[in-house]
Structure 1
Amino acid sequence: MGRGLPGSISGGVKRRGLPGAAKEERIVVLETENAALHLKLAEYQGLAGRSTSEVLQLYSAHGQQQKLQRTSVVTQLHGTVKRLKQDLKRLRSFVLELSKDFQRQSKTYLYQILTAVQGIQLENEAMQMFQIKAFDLEQSLQEVTERYEKEKQKRRALHNSLVELRGNIRVHCRIRPLLPFDAASGHSISEDRQRNFPEKVAYAADDETVLIKCSRPGHASINRTFQFERVYNALESQDIVFADVAPLLTSLLDGYNVCIMAYGQTGSGKTYTMLGPQLEENFAFSIEDESELGIIPRATQEVFRLLSEKPPGSYWVEVSVVEVYNNEIFDLLAKDNYGKVFGVKREVVTTREGKSDVPLLMHETVENAAEFLHLVNKGVQLRVRHPTLVHAHSSRSHLVVTLTINTIISGDNFGTSWEDEQTSQRLNKEVSCTFPQKMRENKSTSSSRASSPTQLEATEKLKKVKTRLQLVDLAGSECVGMSGVTGAALRETSYINRSLSALADVLGAIAEQRSHVPYRNSKLTHLLQDSLGGDAKLLVMLCISPDQKYLTESMQTLGFGTRARQVQRGQLKKKNFPVPSKAK
């Protein structure tokens, strides 16, 4: 095919009529080109054959490689499976061993649990037995406690009967709590008494015993007890204190005079016990919080409650308020020409019957407790006060509040019951005709009452019986070095201490049954002569501070109470007075 190409070309050249030399040259060129093309064709054919072979070789090599790779993967998989089988075998062996160990431990724990359960059951049984025993002991303790309380009440009742038969003075003691001002030290207090933190030395060992326990460096240790009819600890409230006072008020309506006085050092809680909390801006006592009310407002309310059981119109109540200041008596209800309350000096005298009396003393008639307390509050605001290092509002006078019950009864019916309706009607009619007009209008009256001859004839069959309740808030005994007072306050302190000393002397003379009792050594004892000398049931409320700083003053107060408790005045006098059956 290739060989025929030049001929065809040359034939074509001839037909075209090219020149001879040029044709030859053209033929040579073409033949040369043809040869070159044949060479290239052969070369390309060779290359094509070799490429096919190489491709086959490459394909064959790739297949072998894939085969080798598959073989390698299978080999690796076989190795992995073998290893996994070995691991599984080891795992099965481990699980088997673990299961055996778990079974062994489970048996051990189960045994321990069973043992513990049995132990708990035994303990529960023992606990139940103990609970039964504890319950029995609690019941026994409760029964013993109830019997003890009953026996204590019986013993106290017998003791009170003995006290009444002997005419002894009842003595109660109240220990106040530590207060913020106890931590403050005054500049006049000696170094051994100055401390930043108060230390308690006075305790209520029980409801009848005060324990003084103190140990100071350089001083002898003190461990003493004092016995009284009742001892109140720092946590006992005003309600509890009054609960022991209330029975005396029934005695008041049974025909006995009653006197309750608070004795103790300045700042020991006397005024709080007797009146309750005081408002600092005007020194009036607060009656808003009834739980904080003291003995005076509570006693007034109780007296009027008891009086409400009497026939209306058969009695009237009077109040007087005096203070003893610098050994002088001042009437705190006396008024000036403009009707303003103004303290007026009064004198105390002894009547022909041997009784103490204050002529011209103002007695205000009151119809209820609110009126009574209103007048007492007026008098309290006039009371002299002066700040000291011990107490910022220290009372510098003795306050004596007197509630007098005037009862009109028929002379033919002494000892009859107040429940007798006919007697009550007759008494009401007679009293309504004979009571002074000022009484019915609730006006002020003087202690020196007088009746006209006509009234005396109309009331010759009537008897007027007076019973008196005296409530006394004594000024506080003081150590001058402790209180730090000077000038006029020092003079006040001197009078206070002398009057309290006179009170102790009177009680000492009565206790020793001396022929002469020095009532007139002080206006205070002269004023309280009837109460101290045996004409009244007398309760002394000792008030002490638990702080070691006031140890000397507390010991003096407890000593006073101990001496007062030893006083025997004989059987008390009872007014010829019918006993209200409802008051029993």
Structure 2
Amino acid sequence: MRPGSGISLSFVAEQRIRQLEQKLRAKEERIIVLETENAFLHLKLAEIQRTSWAVSAEESDSHYASYKEINFHESIKSILIQIYGAIQRLKRDMKDLRLSALQFSRDIQHQGKSFFYQILTAVQKLQLHNEVMQTFQTKALELEQSLHEVSERYQKEKQRRKVLHNSLVELKGNIRVHCRIRPLLPFDMAPGEPAFEDRQRNFSEKVVYAADDETVIVKCSRSGHALTNKMFQYERVYNASDSQGTVFADVSPLLTSLLDGYNVCIMAYGQTGSGKTYTMLGPQSEDTCTFPVEDDLEFGIIPRATEEVFRLLSEKSPGSHWVEVSVVEVYNNDVFDLLAKDNSGRTSGIKRDIITNKEGKSEIPLLTYESVGDAVEFLELVNKGLQLRVKHPTLVHAHSSRSHLVVTLCITTVAVSMDHFGAQWAGSQKLTKEHFLSSPYAGKDDMASFPSRASSPALFGSEPMEKLKRVRTRLQLVDLAGSECAGMSGVTGPILRETSFINRSLSALADVLGAISEQRSHVPYRNSKLTHLLQDSIGGDAKLLLVLCVSPSQKYLTESLQTLSFGSRARQVHRGQAKKRNQPLQSKSK
């Protein structure tokens, strides 16, 4: 019996006892009244008897009076007998009632003791449970604290592992591969499905998702086969909720390497509509196909990287560097200069050729390089180039890019080595691009040095000698055109020809990576203008980051698997350690 029910029965018993006690008091009061009446009647009877005796003495001769007195006495006697009988019955009732109340009281006491012992047992068990619960809570707190400590150690070890892994990747010259999974979008809806807004966007709709920040899992299902999961590992994986800033945070360390003297290339790869242009540039205006300069929160890698480069350059001494920008596109296996101007001074895409110079590096003769002083000038130039970029609508994407976009940011730094007299002069002078290029000692190489003696004694003494060294580093930012299936994109005619060139150039890129990975003697860079243009970044000494962009939709499962497999192959490429462009200065004197 529960403690709660015991308390209820005790309360009922107490109520019943109170009712019986009230009845008992009422009976006792009735008995007292009857006894009082009885005594009163006895007194009245005695008085009547005395009166009767007096009357009988005076009226002994009256036979009728005697007969009447006898009848009166008999009546009184009958009444007294009835009262006595009622009193006896009341006494018996009171005795029975007292016995019942006593028995009921004993029962209540017995039940009360039973309930008390049950309540006491329940309280003891509750106390025991509380002690056990406190023990569990103490252990839980200890485990939680231990888990927190383990998590902190895990995060530290994970960070340390990442640092070691990145160091290993850099030593091997591996291509860093990041993967970004975009959200589900309206055009992911298959024909016949309900409106996208009415669909429940739950986890089961996605077949590609991030298991953690380094792992991608793909749910692969085929008719008649069990569901299988494929797993892909990369240096970094971003899910649909990760912002542009989160993506760039893992890119920015490469920009420090850029200013430390390393060439850097960042490339976005994926199918049409997978988010490559959004990742590299940000959201684009539908009417002008440019990105809004004011919406900096949605900026992609290209504008953010430029802002970071100019921020880092602002920390260096003024006049020791200059920045130039070129924008080209590879369309239908031809290279077009998107910053070149025609005879009337208007910007127009001019076709250029790619050659391999004496050092074995690819270059584009007559390619337009525009000098920029800040990120705003850079964004204006890139927007001019984007307006000329070829775009056509397809069933997959309303503004599908039909060309590979390559934005190159070149930083030229001039360093001066001299004795203490020349150092005093250098601290008060600013070197400009024209100052260096006007020198007859400035060669065409990425690095050149020349001795010179001041022609004016006001600037130099008779002994100081200087050595100028030009270091040219290059940041290539590549937004590749998307691979696509002609049947799914619904393209025909000239656009179908564009699709063919896009897929062939991407296939050539895969062939180049395969040849490098297998360490073949011949790498087919010239099978495509795209791979020829990016030869120095893919197989040279640049630090290369490949950003895979994939859709989570079942509709594009085949294309997503192809992209992820391409990234896995790219991770296996060992190109050797990246080379630093600026070598230590060697002083010379005459």
Please indicate the TM-score interval, normalised by the length of the shorter structure: 0.7 to 0.9
After superposition, the Cα gap between the structure-2 partners of 1:297 and 1:527, relative to the gap in structure 1 and judged at 3 Å, is same
Work out whether residues 359 and 448 of structure 1, in 8 Å CA contact, stay in contact via their aligned partners in 2. Answer: no
Whether 1:429 and 2:429 are equivalent positions in the alignment is yes
SS of the residue 2:242 aligns to: coil
1:239 shift after superposition:
2.1
TM-fit CA distance, 1:437: 11
1:188-244 Cα deviation digits (max 9, x unpaired): xxxxxxxxx994222222222222222232457542212221222222222221121
CA distance in 2, matches of 1:572, 1:174: 25
Q: CA deviation at 1:475?
A: 0.3
* Match among 153, 156, 159 for residue 150 of structure 1: 156
**Which one-letter code corresponds to 1:284 in the other structure?**
T
1:92-491 matched pairs, under 5 angstroms: 115-185=121-191, 199-218=205-224, 221-412=227-418, 423=423, 426=426, 429=429, 431-432=431-432, 435=435, 461-491=467-497
Query: How many angstroms apart in 1 are the aligned matches of 2:324 and 2:532?
Result: 21
Contact kept, 8 Å, 2:216 with 2:231, in 1: the verdict is: yes
1:536 paired with 2:529, answer no
Give the share of equivalent positions with the same residue, in percent. Answer: 70
Cα distance between partner residues in 2 of 1:386 and 1:163: 38
Look up the equivalent residue of 1:228 and give its one-letter code: Y
Which deviates more from structure 2 when the two are superposed, residues 506-515 or residues 125-134? 125-134
Quote the residue 1:499 is aligned against.
505
1:56 is aligned to none
Letter of the structure 2 residue corresponding to residue 530 of structure 1: D
Structure 2 unaligned regions, length at least 5: 1-89, 194-202, 439-443, 456-464, 586-590
Q: Which moves more between the two structures, 241-250 or 259-268?
A: 241-250
Gaps of 5+ in 1: 1-84, 188-196, 414-419, 439-446, 580-584
For 2:212, give the aligned amino acid: D
Separation in structure 2 between the aligned mates of residue 102 and residue 275 of structure 1, nearest angstrom:
87
Paired residues of 1:412 and 1:461 also in contact (CA < 8 A): yes
What's the offset of the Cα at 1:102?
8.6
Quick one: distance in 1 between partners of 2:390 and 2:424?
A: 45
Q: SS state of the match for residue 341, structure 2? A: coil
1:547–1:312 Cα change, 3 Å? same
Structure 2 contact 357–363 (Cα < 8 Å) conserved: yes
Paired residue for 2:517? 511
Please say if residues 396 and 475 of structure 1, whose CA atoms lie closer than 8 Å, have aligned partners that are also in contact: yes
- The structure number with the bigger radius of gyration is 1
Q: Distance in 1 between matches of 2:121 and 2:584?
A: 80
In 2 relative to 1, CA 171–337 (structure 1 residues): closer, same or farther, beyond 3 Å?
same
Secondary structure, counterpart of 1:279 in structure 2: coil
- Bigger shift: 253-262 or 165-174? 165-174
User: Which of 561, 568, 573 matches 1:567?
Assistant: 573
How many Å apart are 1:448 and its aligned residue? Answer: 11
SS at match of 2:250: helix
Residue by residue over 1:474-516, the C-alpha shift from the partner in whole angstroms, topping out at 9 and shown as x without a partner, is: 0001111111111111011000001101111111111122222
> In the aligned structure 1, how far is the partner of 2:480 from the partner of 2:527?
17
SS at match of 1:212: strand
Q: Could you tell me whether the CA contact under 8 Å between 1:198 and 1:548 is conserved in 2?
A: no
SS in 1 for 2:272: coil
Residue identity in the other structure for 1:431: L
Does the Cα contact within 8 Å between 1:400 and 1:473 map onto a contact in 2?
yes
Q: Is residue 408–residue 463 contact of structure 1 (8 Å, CA) maintained in 2?
A: yes
Q: Report the TM-score when normalising by structure 2.
A: 0.71
Alpha-carbon separation, structure 1, partners of 2:487 and 2:530? 25
CA apart distance, 1:381: 2.4
Normalised by the size of structure 1, how large is the TM-score?
A: 0.72
Q: CA deviation digits over 1:108-141, x for unaligned, max 9?
A: 7766665555444433333332222122112211
Distance in 1 of aligned mates of 2:116 and 2:397: 74
Q: How many residues align?
A: 470
Q: In structure 2, how many angstroms separate the alpha carbons of the residues matched to 1:483 and 1:424?
A: 65
- One-letter code aligned to 2:555: K
What is the one-letter code of the residue matched to 2:505?
A: S
Q: Distance in 1 between matches of 2:345 and 2:500?
A: 34
Q: 1: CA distance between counterparts of 2:429 and 2:505?
A: 47
Secondary structure of the residue that 2:358 maps to in structure 1?
A: coil
Q: Secondary structure at the match of 1:520?
A: helix
Following the alignment from structure 1 to structure 2, what is the Cα–Cα distance between the partners of residues 94 and 289?
Answer: 93
Residue 562 to residue 113, structure 1, CA distance change in 2 (3 Å): same
Name the counterpart of 1:23: none
Q: Provide the secondary structure at the position in 2 that maps to 1:535.
A: coil
Superposed displacement of residue 312, structure 1: 0.8
AA aligned opposite 1:242: F
How far apart are 1:286 and its partner, in Å? 2.8
1:399-427: CA deviations, max 9, x gaps?
Answer: 111111110111559xxxxxx99859616
